[in-house]
Amino acid sequence: MTKRCALITGVTGQDGAYLARLLLDKGYTVHGVKRRSSSFNTERIDDLYLDPHEEQTRFFLHYGDLTDATNLIRLIQEIAPTEIYNLAAQSHVAVSFETPEYTANSDGLGPLRILEAIRILGMGDKVRFYQASTSELYGKVQEKPQRETTPFYPRSPYAAAKLYGYWITVNYREAYGFHASNGILFNHEGPTRGETFVTRKITRAIAGIELGLQERLYLGNLNAKRDWGHARDFVEAMWLILQQPEPDDYVIATGEMHSVREFVELAFEKVGRRIKWQGSGKDEIGVDEKSGKDLVRIDQRYYRPTEVEELWGDPSRARQKLGWTHKTDFKQLVSEMVESDMKAVARESWRKDRTAS
C-alpha cells in the first residue's frame, strides 16, 4: 500500500489545524504550508510540532503562498503527496470588499495554481485534490434548503473568487480525469475560530464583559441566519470526500439554521444573563434583563455592501454517500465556545497583568 501523505494549505487556520490532527491520528504524514509572518501564526498547530530531526516526526511545515505558483510546483514535486487539501484562503467575507483583487488572486487563482502544478508535474493520477468551497456560493439564495444542484449567486468578492475555484476544480476533473472534489461547506466554528467571525466575536466579548474587561458588544446584522456546525466534525467530511472511489462535490451542513440574534441570546444564557431587545434597526439594543445595562449595540460598520441573509444546507447526499453526519449541535457548539473563551480571556488578562506589574 502507498504511504498516505497529505499536503494541507492553510494549515495554520481553524480547519487546517483540525484536519492536520485528524490525519496524523489516522497515520498520515502531514505537510503543511504556512505563510511567512512577522509575528507567530502557528498557535493552532504548535502542539503538533516536533523537532523535524526527531525520527518519529510525521508533521512538517513549509513556507509557501497560494499567490506563488513556482513555490507550489516545487513543494508538490518535493513532497509528492497522495492527497492535497486546499484550505488556504483570504476567508473573511467583509474583508474581501476591502481587498477584492488579493482575494481573487488567492481564493480564485490559488486553486488553479495547485491544479496546474499537478498537471505540469504529471501527477494527475497519483494525487487526490480537495477544494474548500463554500455555502457563500449560494449567496442570494435561489432554493431552500441549498443542495448540490441549487444555482449559485455569489454576493461578495470572496464568493465570486470561490466560484472560480469551484468551477476550475470541476473542470480539471472533467478535462484531465483528476480526482478533484469540492466540499461545499456551510459555516463551521469552534473555540479556535478566527476572532473576527461573528460567533467567536460574540463568545470572546461575553467573556470580556463577564470578566469586567469590556463594556459591550457591537454587531452588524443581527437577523442574518446561518447553518452553523463544529469544525471538528466538518474536517471528517473533507477526509471522507477524498476516500471515495470517484471524485464529486458535496454539501456539508447540519441542516439547521439560526440567526445571529439567537446565537447572542444563547451565548449570554450560558453565563446566566437574559438579553431583551429594544428599539429597531440601527438603534436596536440588547439589554441585560437583570442589570438593565445595554450589552449589545449595532454598529453600521459591520454591515456588508451586499449581505447574504440566510444559508441553510441540505446534507442528505453527504449522509447517503459518505455516511457523514454532524455530531455537535448548535447548543453544544455555543456552549463549548463560551466555556473556552471564559478560560482563554481570563488567562490572557492574567498574563497582561503580570507583564504590567
* Residues labelled catalytic: 134, 136, 158
CB-nearer residue toward ligand NDP: 9 or 146: 9
Of residues 6 through 65, those in contact with ligand NDP by CB under 6 A are 9-10, 12-16, 33, 35, 37, 41, 65
The three state secondary structure string of the chain is CCCCEEEEECCCCHHHHHHHHHHHHCCCEEEEEECCCCCCCCHHHHHHCCCCCCCCCCEEEEECCCCCHHHHHHHHHHHCCCEEEECCCCCCHHHHHHCHHHHHHHHHHHHHHHHHHHHHCCCCCCCEEEEEEEHHHCCCCCCCCECCCCCCCCCCHHHHHHHHHHHHHHHHHHHHCCEEEEEEECCEECCCCCCCCHHHHHHHHHHHHHCCCCCCEEECCCCCEECCEEHHHHHHHHHHHHHCCCCCEEEECCCCCEEHHHHHHHHHHHCCCCEEEECCHHHCEEEECCCCCEEEEECHHHCCCCCCCECCECCHHHHHHHCCCCCCCHHHHHHHHHHHHHHHHHHHHHHHHHHHC
Residue nearest to ligand GDR (CB): 224
- Cβ proximity to ligand GDR: between 95 and 346 the closer is 95
* Partner whose footprint covers residue 106, from ligand NDP, ligand GDR, none (CB < 5 to 8 Å by kind): ligand NDP
Residue 88 interacts, among ligand GDR, ligand NDP, none and using kind-specific CB cut-offs from 5 to 8 Å, with ligand NDP
Nearest-approach distance from CB 352 to ligand NDP, in angstroms: 23
Choice between 75 and 89, CB closer to ligand NDP: 89
Rank residues 31 and 188 by Cβ distance to ligand NDP and give the closer one: 188
Binding residues vs ligand GDR (CB under 6 A)? 91, 93-94, 134-136, 186-187, 196-199, 201, 219-221, 224, 226, 260, 302, 304, 307-308
Residues that bind ligand NDP (CB under 6 A): 9-10, 12-16, 33, 35, 37, 41, 65-67, 87-91, 106, 132, 134, 185, 187-188, 194
